[in-house]
Structure formats: structure tokens, C-alpha cells
Amino acid sequence: MADLTITFTETETKGRYAATAPGAAGEGELTLSKVTDKLIIADHTYVPDSMRGMGVAKALAERLIADARAKGQRIVPLCPFVRAHAMKHREALADVIQW
């Protein structure tokens, strides 16, 4: 995986992870909506062509999952990428994914 830098910004109702990599133009993103303090929805994951194949979407999903787990939150995987990742690791993520 590339040497990624992932940052997180949030408002009262939304959150956004952004990933950048040295030498790659643009940034990958994963957006979420906050339903309650304990329930969030993974809305959308986007990775520009310049960053494809670098494991950016997976890194974003794993950061989302780690942060949610640390905060005691559950994730509704609306985003197709996060949903596919969650399905692939269903048992390991049972504590954090809300089906």
C-alpha cells in the first residue's frame, strides 16, 4: 500500500475522510452521515484514477471501521465499497457493522 495520509473532518451531521499519497494527484474520500452519536452511515467512497490500485479505498474503509470501533459506533454500509468490504470480513466486523 502507498504511503497514505488520511485526515478526518466533520460537522454535526457529516464526516469526511480524505486520503493523499506522495506523487499522486487528487485525493480519495469516504463520506459518512451521522444518524446518532452511536450510528453512522458510510455514504460514498471515491478514489481518483491517479490513485487506483494503491489500496486507498480499503485504507479509508479500515480507518472508518477503526475509528467507529474506538468510539463505540455502528456503521450502516450504504456505500457499495464499504458494504463489499464488510461482507468479505463479516465475522471480524460483526461488532461494528449494522446490517
β-partners of residue 45 are 30
Tell me, what's the pLDDT at 1?
52
Share of the chain above pLDDT 70, in %: 98
Show the DSSP H helices in 2-98 as ranges.
56-71, 80-88
Q: What domain range is 57 assigned to? A: 5-88
- Residue 99 lies inside a defined structural domain of this protein: no
Does pLDDT of 92 surpass 70?
yes
Does pLDDT of 2 surpass 60?
no
- Residue 40 lies inside a defined structural domain of this protein: yes
Number of domains in the chain: 1
Residue predicted with more confidence, 73 or 3? 73
Q: What is the mean pLDDT of residues 16-34?
A: 96
Q: What is the CATH number of the domain that holds 81?
A: 3.40.630.30
- Edge-to-edge strands of the sheet including 28-34? 5-10, 14-20, 28-34, 39-46, 74-77
What SS3 class is residue 44? strand
Query: Has this prediction a pTM greater than 0.85?
Result: yes
Calpha distance 58→52 (Å, rounded) = 11
- Residue 95 lies inside a defined structural domain of this protein: no
Does pLDDT of 20 surpass 80?
yes
